[in-house]
Amino acid sequence: MPCTRGDVNSKTLLSPIVKQFSHNCHVSFYHTPDLRWPLNRLLPHRYNELIGLQHMKFYLIDNCVIITGANLSGDYFTSRQDRYMIIQDHKPLSDFFDDLSRVLCKISFQLTPDGKFILDKEFPLSPVSVTQRGEYLKRSRSLVLDMYDGYRTRNTTAVSPALSSTQPPDTWLAPLIELPPLHIQLDSRVTKLILSLARDGSCVSLGTGYFNLTQEYVRAMLDKPRVNYSVLMAHPTANGFLGARGAAGGIPYAYTALAARFLSRVSNLKVAMFEYVRSGWTYHAKGLWYSESPGSKPVLTLIGSPNFGKWSRILFCIYYLR
């Protein structure tokens, strides 16, 4: 399990809590079904996440939801620039994230009070089993889509009266999910749609700590040469991988090289690129903002954990806010 890497890890941190508060504490560990034998035996532990990982970051307290790209490690509270949005007193949205969390926990490994990993009693299929792979993917996809479609149906029914009102809502919010191993890619489809429908003279701003746009996004931008684009990314000195041991230490400069290659490819577009630099700080914020004209306030934004990159085997959750 990737969470057991090193002497101090997620399992060693959470096991005492589960043991002491087993009556009201539940901990699950997602494992991508793409990391199975023989890859899980051949790949070094630190490179496991190249195959896939759980990247959703949302925090739910009663009817309040915080969605962000931030983890809960110490530097996010002290010296790591990130982005957070709080939606308060919104029961339908809170219920959605509660249901999403429950479904993802069900298809994951469960941490027991004695520090072992077991399967959920109601979902006894292992994501790493070669023989159960097909059934695991089929049933997992069905559980997630049933949950999502149920929310969408209930929400559509609830907002229908508002659509015909003389004073319709001025803000729309929609949660999107991205689970590539289960062939669920709502976030990337909506992101591509936004880029494809951007009007001439409008502005699209992207923020990402790790700049490596997918070819689909680049092609969508190339098809809109009259749109103004701006990109904010981490300077090598503000990249979280700076100073890492081994090959990982070169990652910050690799992203700068990718940005330079991107600029040369889109030389006919109006693109402004910026690098975040702040002494002692790293940059991890991500998102998309759409404005109807230069200098005007955004009318649409995406907030969540995606980096808009080619790392396509990750689980994401994102807000579409308009």
Residues classed as catalytic: 55, 57, 62
Tokens linked to 172: 């729309």
CB 27 within 8 A of CB 18: yes
Listed residue (236, 231, 261) closest to 250, CA to CA: 236
Alpha carbon 143 to its chain centroid, in Å, reads 19
Tokens linked to 226: 């009259």
Question: Which residue intervals of the chain are DSSP H helices?
Answer: 10-20, 39-42, 91-106, 133-163, 186-197, 215-222, 251-265
- Length of the chain in terms of residues written: 322
User: Could you give the CA distance from residue 173 to residue 193 in angstroms, rounded to a whole number?
Assistant: 16
Listed residue (32, 28, 8, 226) closest to 140, CA to CA: 32
